Structure formats: C-alpha cells, structure tokens
Chain A
Amino acid sequence: MLQIADLTKRFGGLVALDRVTLDFEADVLHAIIGPNGAGKTTLFNTISGMLRSDSGSVRFRGTDISGMAPHRISRLGISRSLQIKSVFDSMTVAENLWIAAQAREGVMHPFSNRSRFSRTAGRVDEILEQTGLEGLRDSPAGTLSYGDVALLEIGIALATGPTLLLLDEPICGMGPAETEATVEKIRHLAESVDIIIIEHDMPVVFDLAERITVMAQGGVLARGTPQDIADNAAVREAYLGDEDDDEDDEDEDGFDA
C-alpha cells in the first residue's frame, strides 16, 4: 500500500532519515515506535508532503508521491493528525469538520450558501457521532480540552475520507478513560481505513498494533509482530537504553585496564 525506498532527509548536519526503506502492507494496523529524535515524525512529514526528502521515493498505491504538495497528497487519500495538535481554533467543531469534508468535494463555490451542501452536512453529523463530539458541535475549537482537540484532529482527518490515516501520538495528553475510548475508536476505524500510528505509550502500541516498526537514529531498527518486537534484543537495548550501554562501556574499560 505504502512503499518507502531509500528515503533520506537531512537537516544541516543531522541525518533525520537515513536511507529508510519500508513497506506498509494494507489491512494491517501499523505502529511506529522509537526514542525521541528517531525520525518518526520526520517520516510522517515526508510522506504527507510537509517536508521534501533529499533522496529516495514514497509510493502510495502505485503513485509516486515524493515531492508532491501536501494538498495533492491529501486528495489522494492520505490524511494525518499532527503531533502538536492543530485545528481551526476560532471555528466551531462542526465548522472544522465541515471544511475538511468539503475540501474533498471542492470549495470553489464562491456564491453558494454553505447550508446547501447537504452531503457535507451529513458527513459532519457522521463524524461527530463517530468521534463522540456531538455535544461540543457548536463550541469554538479553541475552547476544547486537550483530549477533545485530539479527538477533533482525528475527526478532521477522517472527514476528508482518507484510505490511509497517519496518526501522530493521537492519545498524547489524554486521561486513562479517554485513552481507552480513543484506542477502541482507532481499532474500530482500522476496519475501514489503513492506519499507521506513532505512539509512545507502549501498552497502547502493543494492544493496538498488528505490525510494529522500531526506528532509531533515522533508521529502521526492527520490524515485526508485537511478539517479535518484544523478544528483540536490539530493541530492548534501544529502549532500556543508556544504563546497559554505560555498564557495557565500564566493563570494556575494565578489561582494557
């Protein structure tokens, strides 16, 4: 469904993505994990067109989308949420979803009343129900709680009718109850849409994902089922991290001395 080949992105001297090659197959819920700075969000930014890669290619359902503008990639069916939640603050929840849904139908109707677009209105109602935001329909998005904004982000992404949904830390900032509800929603969504999710909450990742990709320092460290990943020694080291390394270093020093 999504093929990434030799994708490289540098920021000055820092290599954020180092010849990443990944193949995300359809109908499987993918998760990407990895320590901060591993290149996860950069990968999403490059897929969605917000960043242009230095080399390599991204193919989505057979179309080469590398170097395409974000709005064109969005229209091909890739929708994403942002790590730093970003919605249309002074517009109401319903308006946020409305413009996202209408963006797909076309907005170049400068003289017709918005209320005449009944299909878009129906889609808004659907998404409000799916996300459970019905009660906040007429609230300005800027007044929502952090968890509700995160839900609205997912709602906006869904309203564009995507076939692939990229979720960047969707439950970040949510309480336990909200997290559980959102995880159920994502699981439910995955039945109709392909999903790739970046998440730091390991219990959530291992509960949701059918395939996990571990990234570290701009490269792919490991891929596999949750079980494979849990058993993988390299991953354990990357996550249990520095302590092990320090001990190893000390041991080596000891031997040298």
Chain B
Amino acid sequence: MKARINRGVLLTVLAFLLIAPLLLPAVGFDYWLDILAEILIWSLFAASVNLLFGYVGLLSFGQALFFGMGMFGVAIGVAKLGLGFWPALGLGMVVAVATAAVAGALAVRLTWHYFAIITVVFSLIFYFIALSAKPLTGGDDGTSFSMPPMLTLGESELSLTDQTVQYFFILLVVGFAFFVKYLIVRSPFGMALMAVRENDVRASLIGLNVYFLRWIAFVVAGGFAGLAGCLFALFGRYASATYMFYHVSGEGVVWTIVGGAGTLFGPAIGAALLIIVREELSNMWEHYPILVGIVVILTVIFAPKGLMGMWNGLLDRLASRSADGTDTDEGQRQAMESAAAPVKGEAGP
C-alpha cells in the first residue's frame, strides 16, 4: 500500500510539473513558473548533498564549489570563449567533474568532521580564487552573458529566452538526473555505497574498496552539483562567486536534512518547501532565516529522518492499522474497532 500511495503522489507531482506552464499563467501566477524552475535546479543541488550524506555517509559543506564550477564553466564558455549552448554546457560539466575528481581524491581520505572541514576549506579556496581572478571570472561583479540558441533550424531558433522552453528544458534535465540517481540507488553500486555508510570497516572486510567507492560517489555528486550550476547559470544568464560560498552548500545540507537524507525525493521536498517559505516571507520579514533555523532544529529533534521519514512512518502506521482491522479474532477486533474508530474512515480501502 505504501509503495502504491507513494507512486500515486509521485505521478501527481509529475503531472503538475508537466502542466504547470499552462496552469500557472492561467491563474495569474506567471512568476511562479520561474520559482518552480529554480526549485527544480536547487533540488538537483540537494540531491548532490544527499548522494554523499544520505547514501555514503559523507557530510559535505563544499558542494557549492562544484555548483560554482558548473556556473563559471557555462558563463565563461559563452562570454569569453564564444561557445554555443551545448559546448558551454559541456564545458561546465567537465570543469565541475574534474574539480570534484581532484578535490575528492584528497577529501575522501577523511571522514566525519574532518571531511566536512576539508570540503569547506576547498570551497573557500576556490571562492577567493574566483573573486581575485577578475579578468576571467569578473571578480565581485561576476560574469553575465547573453543566451545562445539551443537549436537553430533554418530561420527558427529554439532558445531558453522563451520562459516555457526554459522551464521544460530544466524539468527534462533535472528529471533525467533524478532517474539516474534512482538507477544508482537500486543498483549493486548503490547498495555498496550504503554498506560503506553503515559500516566502513565491515565493508572493507567483505572486499569493498571503500576509498574508491567514496571517491566515485564524490565525483558523481560533484557532477550533480555541477549540472545544477550549469542550469542555474543558463537560468540567470550569469555566474558569480557568491554561489561558491559555503553558505550555499549549507543550504543544500539544510534542505537535505529537512526533507530526509537517504531518500530519493526527500531533499527535493526540503528544497521546495524552504524556497517557497523564502519567496513568501523574505519580502515581509527580513529575518525569516530564524524560522528556517527553528524548522531545522525541530526536524533534527523530532523527525531525524526528515519529512520523508515522517511521511513513510505515517503510511506504515496506517498500513498496520488496516492490517489489524482485518484480524478475525473476535475480541481483538472489537477492541480494535473501539480504539481505532476515528481513523477507520481515513485508512479506508
């Protein structure tokens, strides 16, 4: 039942995401289509944090580094090197993955807080490099560029300057990335990552190369963050070192923890929720991060597996209630009925 409900919810969300470009302008919420696109991008960024923290047990505060590398790859590719849409996207990915490969080789020698600290350090180093390399990155001002067309067929062009095209492009890329993550999680490789997360000593004793698995996961996560950065650069036609700063990484960690680390869609839910909170509250109350802080503290204390964990726990409880309801033992059933009467209707068929 749990799997069926979750599949239903997933399909509903997917359907909403697909008709959103029609639906939102129709009700006068054009502006929210861009927010939705932004949520999609940041949920991919949260997926990167989650792959490391939720599946391999490495808490990285440096994923913004690869996000920033993807951004600058695209922006510098278009603005400075005169690349087209796809080559610039490719450059962003190559730069992000290559940085992750080098940084990962050093970082995954460490675990726990040492790992967290070294990821912060890497991200700070590159943040200051990006700030000072003004000719290349634009320093404080960042690098802006004008959008090259995605596809040119004779006279007509397909370009992200069209809001709907841009939205569907982002949806497609993020959807594809989540599908890849889904494949990874249910594969032998994904199981090996979880084994490393659970018990690295035992994992090495059964013949798993713990260092190599952590490194590969780090590179893949760097690729996810880089892809999110590429999309964000295209979305804003802009790259800036501020997105490399570790507080951006921290936001990814917060979304992951609130949504539920180690679940496929939890971090996306965390990102969506907190971005909506930000959009709604930041105009009215500049200290809204206080509220975010409170939400995080409450989650860590009362729902350590995040919103997704809470939701799954709720479904499990409902499932066991309805299973108890079918028990044929007369006395037990009567006791059950009186105790569970109010929820019977909810649990339903």
Contact = CB atoms under 8 A, between A and B. Distances in A.
Interface of A: 48, 50, 69-71, 74-75, 79-80, 82, 86-91, 95, 98-100, 102-114, 117, 156, 159-160
A69 B204 contact: yes
Given A74-B206, A88-B194, A110-B189, 19 more contacts: A71-B210, A74-B205, A75-B207, A87-B202, A90-B198, A98-B191, A99-B191, A99-B206, A102-B191, A103-B208, A105-B188, A107-B188, A109-B187, A110-B183, A110-B187, A111-B184, A113-B186, A114-B191, A159-B206
A79 B204 CA distance: 11
Interface string B203-228: 11111111001000000000000000
Contacts of A109: 187-189
Given A48-B205, A71-B204, A103-B192, A88 B199 contact: yes
Contacts of A110: 183-184, 187, 189-190
A172 B155 CA distance: 79
Contact of B206 (A89, A113, A117, A160): A160
Contacts of B125: none
Nearest to A84: B201
A166 to B, nearest CB: 10
A112 B187 contact: yes
A87 B191 contact: no
Is the interface on chain B under 10, 10 to 19, 20 to 34, or 35 or more residues?
20 to 34
Contacts of B195: 88, 91, 99
Contact of A114 (B187, B202, B204): B187
A74 B188 contact: no
Query: Quick one: which of B190, B203, B206, B208 has the most chain A CB within 10 A?
Result: B206
Given A88-B195, A117-B188, A71 B207 contact: yes
Contact of A107 (B180, B191, B202, B204): B191
Interface string B159-195: 0000000000000000000001001101111111011
Prevailing SS type, chain A contact patch:
loop
A9 to B, nearest CB: 18
Nearest to B195: A99
Given A86-B201, A110-B189, A104 B207 contact: yes
Q: Which 8 A-B pairs have the closest CB atoms?
A: A74-B207, A107-B192, A88-B198, A110-B189, A70-B204, A103-B207, A100-B206, A103-B206
B316 to A, nearest CB: 13
A95 B191 contact: yes
A65 to B, nearest CB: 13
Contacts of B203: 88
B188 A156 contact: no
Contacts of B180: 111
Contacts of A114: 186-188, 190-191
21 contacts: A50-B201, A70-B205, A71-B204, A71-B208, A74-B207, A82-B202, A86-B199, A86-B202, A87-B199, A89-B199, A98-B191, A99-B191, A99-B192, A99-B206, A100-B206, A103-B206, A107-B208, A107-B213, A109-B188, A114-B186, A156-B202
A115 to B, nearest CB: 8
Query: Quick one: which of B189, B195, B207, B213 has the most chain A CB within 10 A?
Result: B207
A88 B204 CA distance: 12
A99 to B, nearest CB: 5
A91 B206 contact: no
B189 A107 contact: yes
Contacts of A100: 206
Interface in B132-176: none
Contact of B207 (A82, A86, A87, A160): A160
